[in-house]
A and B are shown apart, each in its own frame.
Chain A
């Protein structure tokens, strides 16, 4: 009898990672905070007026880059319902869409900022994206970090180097330790030291910082997050009208049925320069997020198969226009 080759498999022993449809670029047309809302619809119109030429530019750049000119570009808009709750979807969303339409902009997807912290509904159950990303942080090690000790952490903070040693006077010795500078790990000559607050806690309630949620938002748009192997918060089309309560709104709403996929190989955000410090913080966080190996491979394989060479480091897949 010839030897029989047996194969045995166990589902629970395997890792299955779902894949996500991807556009070439996801363009964020705006990010609405309460202060913008309070400033009235003119502030919004002004934002869209500034954004419109950049969207056209990025579209034509990708059309040149992609064989056959079939660039997949999707647009999105983020509403802050985390740090402050204002207005209602029923009142706000039509106003936003109208202001965009005045500049020939179509918003494909609308997302809620609070969903980047956590989201729960009957369909997808609960998912805490912020916790998920926090567990994926791998601290940038200062030189001489050999693994013998756990990484030095200031709870709730993340930096890009070594902090200044404490300079409290040592009373017993009667001497004051002179100030020593912090140092950036990957400095070029001189340091640009960044220390970012990720969250704070008042009692049992944790409030995630704006840069941390923005980092989660970028990862979601890059299609690099998975929860138990599944793609979290897939866009949902809205049946019926806009709800009167933000909690009645899906995390990501698909507004345009013909839209290219929500997630993309790269992202572009068109922002006011006042967001520059926030985005520096976002990049500090993102350069310390370890995305799942398998997910990285999936995206790389897909982009190569359609002749698009992606930047290896995920912070290089994110670009901005500050206007």
Chain B
């Protein structure tokens, strides 16, 4: 029917970026399973996948009760030794049975949640990514955000991290729904740190779609964080040197991490490209980076001038 997922992204709770070998240890969530690491064009480490069992109502826009049983797939990632993610998703399919089956049935289909009874894909998609946060006043409803949050916590609470992050920045959450059909993509910024993504892709679902969503979440978080840092610097409202000092964390920790679509399979790159046309993530990123660099350049010039003036006196 459809695939739904949620990615939580945050700054790794460590003073500096962590090495590849530390990444491997932090993300080693399962005995006998290796952490996958790619080094080009940016170091990206991905934990083994773990499952969480669920049996609960699924979010619906119509508020009709739809019961789903199965497993959620979750994984953690660290990009550039600096950005941490907890990511979970489920493939929602119709069940052949109208009752809950023995648990071994669901474990034979890892990452699938089977819907008991009637449900419409559009109702579920709207319920999960609609304006009101998923959740029903009358009972428990699938909470992928909590699962992803816990996986992100698992990374952040690693004893290998010094927990002295260079600046405070909120986590962002990206809820996504992917379906098969005419290609389209819709990215929506909601209140605060919430984002949603609706994606229709040709052909069947593969984990490459999850990679794409995680990549978008990483870059949206980078952009959001850089905006926050630039805003906090109060350029124009504070003396130049002070503003530049406040911009320093961006230069030290964020500005080199922008690598859009680096890990996205070729058949999915048109989705990134269309988001680059509108709203233009990279356009906004470049303009912010230019602004930061201009501030640094201006400040350097001012310092040079001041030194020269002092020399002349």
Is A bound to B?
Answer: yes
On chain B, the residues within 8 Å of A290 by CB distance are: 51, 71, 107, 110
Q: Report the minimal beta-carbon distance from B36 to chain A, rounded to whole angstroms.
A: 5
Given A12-B38, A148-B146, A227 contacting B32 (CB threshold 8 A): yes
Q: Report the minimal beta-carbon distance from B29 to chain A, rounded to whole angstroms.
A: 8
- Judge whether A286 is part of the interface by a CB distance below 8 angstroms: yes
Query: Do residues B110 and A293 form an inter-chain contact, with CB atoms below 8 A?
Result: yes
Q: Report the minimal beta-carbon distance from A319 to chain B, rounded to whole angstroms.
A: 15
Binds B, one of A52-60, A129-137, A274-282: A129-137
Given A8-B40, A10-B38, A293-B110, A143 contacting B53 (CB threshold 8 A): no
Categorize the interface residue count of chain A: 35 or more
On chain B, the residues within 8 Å of A225 by CB distance are: 32
- Judge whether A138 is part of the interface by a CB distance below 8 angstroms: yes
Pick the contact of A138 from B102, B107, B146 — CB < 8 Å? B107
Pick the contact of A228 from B34, B71, B100 — CB < 8 Å? B34
B 102-156 contacts with A by CB, 8 A: 102-105, 107-108, 110-111, 139-144, 146-147, 150
Query: Do residues B146 and A128 form an inter-chain contact, with CB atoms below 8 A?
Result: no
Binds A, one of B54-62, B181-189, B242-250: B54-62
Query: Do residues A147 and B142 form an inter-chain contact, with CB atoms below 8 A?
Result: yes
- Judge whether A71 is part of the interface by a CB distance below 8 angstroms: no
Query: Do residues A147 and B104 form an inter-chain contact, with CB atoms below 8 A?
Result: no
Pick the contact of A128 from B31, B39, B71 — CB < 8 Å? B31
Query: Do residues A146 and B51 form an inter-chain contact, with CB atoms below 8 A?
Result: no
Query: Do residues A186 and B103 form an inter-chain contact, with CB atoms below 8 A?
Result: yes
- Judge whether A226 is part of the interface by a CB distance below 8 angstroms: yes
20 new A-B contacts, CB < 8 A, other than A143-B56, A145-B56, A290-B107, are A10-B37, A10-B40, A14-B36, A127-B32, A131-B32, A135-B31, A135-B32, A135-B33, A140-B53, A144-B139, A147-B72, A147-B142, A148-B146, A150-B150, A160-B103, A227-B32, A232-B32, A290-B71, A313-B107, A315-B102
User: Sorted from nearest, which 8 A-B pairs have the closest CB atoms?
Assistant: A13-B38, A141-B53, A146-B56, A287-B104, A146-B140, A140-B103, A313-B104, A132-B32
